[in-house]
Copies of this chain bind each other. A is one copy, B any other.
């Protein structure tokens, strides 16, 4: 049976960066339709009354260190963006302004820019440069990203994620079953491959 996998992520989630770098390899042998869906984790946190972990708190310090060692173990280049967390809204709107193949390529480019090249992906000029690098029409895509239907799409995808049970990023929803965390991607893969257990 072909599985449906929704990959929910936020550009301002370092574990999402790790997940997107590994997702194709992890799911290589699984018959799955992988749908990339950026969401706004900030909206989900507000809904739940949470605040992001911060350096200086035990969980914050752990998380920052764990992201770095997890990236290192996975052989990934990684550097913290100068401002973190950042607002991934503009990047997410551009994602939904693109068709799906270009959108995934754009998402990968945004993650690389933010976590490898040290670029500010909240800056519209940086984002337009990434769109241009894909050989696309920057002006047309940017104009489309500002349409109410595209803004609504991002809100609707975030709401759909919450309705599916998502509360953090990255999350993987496999045929309706939620797995949370880059470290649970292999469980999501096994669930897809086996039909559940």
B184 touches A58 (CB 8 A): no
- A166–B187 Cα distance when bound, in Å, is 25
B48 touches A167 (CB 8 A): no
Residues of B within 8 A of A59 (CB): 48, 167-168
Say yes or no for A180: interface residue by CB 8 A criterion.
yes
Say yes or no for A156: interface residue by CB 8 A criterion.
no
A165 touches B197 (CB 8 A): no
Q: Which of A27-55 contact B (CB under 8 A)?
A: 48
A58 touches B167 (CB 8 A): yes
Query: Could you tell me the dominant secondary structure of chain A's interface residues?
Result: helix
Number of A residues with CB within 8 Å of any CB on chain B: 23
Name the CB-closest residue of B to A180. B62
Residues of B within 8 A of A178 (CB): 62
Say yes or no for A72: interface residue by CB 8 A criterion.
yes
The copy count of this chain in the complex is: 2
Give the distance to chain B from A51, nearest Cβ to Cβ, in Å. Answer: 11
CB-CB under 8 A for A62 and B197, given A57-B48, A183-B183:
no
Name the CB-closest residue of B to A184. B183
CB-CB under 8 A for A62 and B183, given A69-B197, A73-B197:
no
Residues of B within 8 A of A183 (CB): 181, 183-184
Say yes or no for A162: interface residue by CB 8 A criterion.
yes
Give the distance to chain B from A70, nearest Cβ to Cβ, in Å. Answer: 8
Task: Enumerate chain A interface residues (CB-CB to B < 8 A).
Answer: 48, 57-59, 61-62, 66, 69, 72-73, 162, 165-168, 178, 180-181, 183-184, 187, 190, 197
Question: Can you list 23 contacts pairing A with B, beta carbon distance less than 8 Å?
Answer: A48-B57, A48-B58, A48-B59, A58-B162, A58-B165, A58-B166, A58-B167, A59-B167, A59-B168, A61-B165, A62-B165, A62-B167, A62-B178, A62-B180, A66-B180, A69-B197, A72-B197, A73-B187, A73-B190, A73-B197, A181-B183, A183-B183, A183-B184
